């Protein structure tokens, strides 16, 4: 019953913000208030699901294979909590960073539109409905990335919109083939049907189209090129929101699909996914190492880190999947945090290009620490959560005897450290280049938001034990989908 709220709360907030879009102050405060409310609700949802198991709601009283089912298992609710936390941080950050024109041109309603789409994608149990939530999410992100309409933004958004449309075409085509083959689009019903099929049923064509669609949206090799070409163009608060939520929806969907549909032809997909994961990790991190714009380095890092998550999926043991879930949560926090810290750098010295930055450690140690924490966490230095995420993934890899991918994961960690140290050396450590000022004012709201996020990264490292316990439970539900299927179909 309450499962509809992650969708209708953002909708309600969006409408309120639409009506009041001219009054800046109200928007700013209501944005923070609403996102806190959303966060509290999703935490409550997570605790409830931890206690009582998978939560199911049949919208409009149409039972499972016929109507649209909403399902939240532990993975969904973990993602819901993380997304709304990232949303809250961005809401606190935005008033101090985004210019007034953008703020009154519908920025706040659009962010809640995006959150509604993301939440919907996390809790829907129906493939066509999933497509609709993807579109809700993408439509909001199209407007957000072009909002303000500077030439650079429009250049970036054309690439972004085009490639995402192509992905949507693949998505719909796959839905069509699947529906023609199976006659149902309810995920649980479909999975139950598939288990009765013979092993050579030609379903991989549809699954491959799905895979291409999702790997475009989550920027896997070889479909990653749109991300670094577009993510650096909007104001960095928007980039941070995208980095923290959008690609991870693609990753989440792959987990859900793999767990429900792929299991019965696992050999083919396992090798395929592990190969792509390895390539994604390496290529992403190597391309990041050659960049000089902070935003571009971080954008390429998103790609490399998605490789880790997909690696956990390819291993597909409880330990591997739990590691991947832990890593995804950590990544949503740390990635957003590094982008927000780059926004602080921008406020302080007016640019993102490493060649024209320097001396920020001396100018403001607080700024340096706020970058240092998530950067080290991304590189995997203990006791920060990035270390535990990688540790569990690599441990899972060894236990499943996947040595090559594990070796690649370790090497990628070194390169990640290298490019984080590069940002650190160039922007914070070296002397201020001539003609560059580091005396810009940093808005307190941006500082507070980044500090809360950095604090939460540290806390996640300290309380890694309890968090990984929850992730292990979530992974058990993913590896064994019978609980999910019987919860939805009621048998």
Partner 1 sequence: MESVLLKIAASHMRPLLIVLSVVVLYRGHNEPGGGFIGGLMLGSAFILYAMAYGVKKTQKSIFFDPVNLTGLGLLIALASGLPAILMGEIFMTGQWITLFSNTFFELKLGTPLLFDVGVYFTVAGMLMLVMFSILEE
- Taking the complex as a whole, the smallest distance from the CB of residue 7 to partner 1 amounts, in Å, to 10
- Taking the complex as a whole, the smallest distance from the CB of residue 16 to partner 1 amounts, in Å, to 8
Nearer to partner 1, 110 or 254 (CB): 110
Nearer to partner 1, 7 or 357 (CB): 7
Nearer to partner 1, 95 or 106 (CB): 106
Q: Identify the three-state secondary structure at position 425.
A: helix
List strand residue ranges (DSSP E) for 310-390, in order: none
- Taking the complex as a whole, the smallest distance from the CB of residue 34 to partner 1 amounts, in Å, to 15
Residues that bind partner 1 (CB under 8 A): 1, 4, 8, 11-12, 14-15, 18-19, 21, 57-61, 106
- Provide the token pair at 187: 């995920």
- Taking the complex as a whole, the smallest distance from the CB of residue 46 to partner 1 amounts, in Å, to 21
Nearer to partner 1, 59 or 275 (CB): 59
| CA–CA separation, 153 and 262 (whole Å) | 38
- Taking the complex as a whole, the smallest distance from the CB of residue 189 to partner 1 amounts, in Å, to 19
- Taking the complex as a whole, the smallest distance from the CB of residue 249 to partner 1 amounts, in Å, to 22
- Provide the token pair at 85: 């936390």
Burial of 152 (0-12, 13-18, 19+ CB in 10 A): exposed
Residue 186: beta bridge partners?
A: 126
Contacts for 233 with CB less than 8 Å, ≥ 6 apart: 145, 150, 152, 153, 155, 156, 157
- Quick check: 95 and 30 in contact, CB under 8 A? no
- How far CA 40 is from CA of 33, 104, 223, in Å, comes to 11, 27, 36
| CA–CA separation, 10 and 91 (whole Å) | 13
Contacts for 11 with CB less than 8 Å, ≥ 6 apart: 112, 116
Nearer to partner 1, 29 or 62 (CB): 62
Nearer to partner 1, 41 or 292 (CB): 41
Burial of 292 (0-12, 13-18, 19+ CB in 10 A): middle
- Taking the complex as a whole, the smallest distance from the CB of residue 145 to partner 1 amounts, in Å, to 18
Nearer to partner 1, 60 or 435 (CB): 60
């Amino acid at each position: 019953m309450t499962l509809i709220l992650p969708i209708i709360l953002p909708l309600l907030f969006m409408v309120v913000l639409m009506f009041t879009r001219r009054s800046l102050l109200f928007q700013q405060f209501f944005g923070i208030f609403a996102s806190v409310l959303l966060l509290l609700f999703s935490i409550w949802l997570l605790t409830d699901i931890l206690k009582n198991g998978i939560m199911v709601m049949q919208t409009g009283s149409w039972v499972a294979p016929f109507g649209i089912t909403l399902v939240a298992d532990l993975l969904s609710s973990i993602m819901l909590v993380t997304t709304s936390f990232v949303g809250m941080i961005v809401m606190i950050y935005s008033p101090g960073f985004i210019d007034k024109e953008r703020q009154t041109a519908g920025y706040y309603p659009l962010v809640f539109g995006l959150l509604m789409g993301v939440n919907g994608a996390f809790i829907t149990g129906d493939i066509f409905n999933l497509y609709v939530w993807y579109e809700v999410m993408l439509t909001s992100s199209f407007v957000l990335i072009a909002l303000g309409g500077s030439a650079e933004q429009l250049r970036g958004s054309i690439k972004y919109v085009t490639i995402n449309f192509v992905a949507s075409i693949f998505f719909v085509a796959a839905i069509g083939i699947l529906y023609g083959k199976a006659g149902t689009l309810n995920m649980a019903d479909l999975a139950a049907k598939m288990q009765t099929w013979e092993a050579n049923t030609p379903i991989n064509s549809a699954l491959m189209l799905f895979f291409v669609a999702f790997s475009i949206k989550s920027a896997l090799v070889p479909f990653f090129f749109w991300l670094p070409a577009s993510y650096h163009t909007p104001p960095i608060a928007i980039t941070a929101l995208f980095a923290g939520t959008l690609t991870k929806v693609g990753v989440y969907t792959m987990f859900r699909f793999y767990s429900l549909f792929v299991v019965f032809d696992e050999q083919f997909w396992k090798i395929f996914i592990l190969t792509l994961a390895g390539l994604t990790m390496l290529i992403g991190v190597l391309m990041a190492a050659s960049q000089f714009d902070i935003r571009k380095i971080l954008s390429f890092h998103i790609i490399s880190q998605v490789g880790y998550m997909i690696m956990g999926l390819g291993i597909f043991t409880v330990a591997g999947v739990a590691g991947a879930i832990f890593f995804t949560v950590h990544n949503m926090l740390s990635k957003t945090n590094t982008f927000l810290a780059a926004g602080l750098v921008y406020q302080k010295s007016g640019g993102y290009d490493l060649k024209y930055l320097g001396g920020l450690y001396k100018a403001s140690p607080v700024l340096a620490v706020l970058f240092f924490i998530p950067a080290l966490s991304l590189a995997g230095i203990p006791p920060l959560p990035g270390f535990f995420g990688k540790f569990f993934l690599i441990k899972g890899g060894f236990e499943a005897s996947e040595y090559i991918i594990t070796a690649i994961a370790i090497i990628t960690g070194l390169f990640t450290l290298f490019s984080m140290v590069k940002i650190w050396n160039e922007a914070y450590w070296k002397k201020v280049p001539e003609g560059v000022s580091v005396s810009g004012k940093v808005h307190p709201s941006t500082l507070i938001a980044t500090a809360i996020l950095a604090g939460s990264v540290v806390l996640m490292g300290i309380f890694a034990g309890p968090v990984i316990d929850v992730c292990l439970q979530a992974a058990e539900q993913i590896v064994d989908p019978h609980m999910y299927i019987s919860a939805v179909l009621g048998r």
